[in-house]
Structure 1
Amino acid sequence: MSASKTTHVYTPAQAFVKIASFCAYQERTQQEVRIKLYEYGIKSAEVEEIIVKLIEDNFLNEERFAKAFAGGKFRVKKWGRNKIIRELEMRGLSPYCIKSGLKEIEEDDYVSTIHQIIDKKSRESTVKNIYQKTHKIAQYLISRGFESDLVWDILKAGARD
């Protein structure tokens, strides 16, 4: 016996109330809302009307989403700008919203975070060869979305200290 989820078809008015609650709980993108409305059985033209109404009532704001997303992923998960940009692009945000979201990351905090990660990874690393260790740390930071030129500049400056 499989536990299948039964889908409920909503009227546009019911869907609006439900989706407004969905947006009020957490910042959302238009793409997420659109997918959810289609799951509710709403037709394409009505979906766009509901999205316009959500934007007018300030339930849906992609610039606000980008700011919350970028700031949160940087502070909590220690993601670099490149990874944040890729994720926001995948979510269908405009270049303007992405740029606005990245403004939430202060340059001093960004560089400081790179230094913290380098210190942590240096302490954790069991590699004895300094060049291999530096390369591993750089690879890790770049995979986290930090810009390679910035990572290498910081690592090279640290080697001189």
Structure 2
Amino acid sequence: MAITTLKQQAKVKAAKYCAYQERTQQEVRDKLYQYGLYSDAVEEVLTELITEGFVNEERYAYAFCRGKFNQNKWGRIKIGMMLRQKGLSNYCIQSGLKQISEEEYQQQLSELIRKKWASLEGEDDYSRKHKTVRYLMGKGYEPDLIWSYFKE
């Protein structure tokens, strides 16, 4: 009887945890283990949370992609790598990345190039270009795309 109430309490806590912000299945699984549940109970509660719509990895990917793109100005490569680290499927990752329109992506890349280039004023053009490209690759933008801007 105690296990059932512990499971119910953990489910309520996990539902609140998920309602606060989007979570991956692994984040919820880890949290359920912290609440003192064992593997069978964890998987049962996680299944119930998925069924009830508290956990949805595709929705998580959408929110993550929009947030990292808009707030952190990350490129697709870095966003995709972070989602893979979190254990999301390729389908969820691709769905999330589709939320970033090509027009917004190009515009943001152009703005980042302009700002970085201006911040390196006083250095020779070769050094400015090298530092700007390195900065943008660190942000997760595609090298081909970056170089195409410098060719124009």
TM-score w.r.t. the length of structure 1 is 0.90
**Residue equivalent to 1:51:** 46
2:82 corresponds to which letter in structure 1? Answer: E
Output aligned runs, 1:148-159, within 5 Å: 148-157=143-152
More helix, by proportion:
2
Output aligned runs, 1:86-105, within 5 Å: 86-105=81-100
Q: Which runs of no fewer than 5 residues in structure 2 stay unpaired?
A: none
Output aligned runs, 1:1-161, within 5 Å: 11-157=6-152
- Between 1:120-129 and 1:20-29, the stretch displaced more is 120-129
2:141 corresponds to which letter in structure 1? Answer: F
> Structure 1 stretches (4+) deviating beyond 4 angstroms?
none
Between the two proteins, the alignment pairs up a number of residues equal to: 148
**Residue equivalent to 1:6:** none
1:131 corresponds to which letter in structure 2? Answer: Y
Task: Give the fraction of aligned pairs with identical amino acids, expressed as a percent.
Answer: 49
**Residue equivalent to 1:5:** none
Q: Residues of 2 paired with 1:91 and 1:121: CA distance?
A: 30
Q: Residues of 1 paired with 2:96 and 2:117: CA distance?
A: 31
Q: Residue 156 of structure 1: CA displacement?
A: 1.6
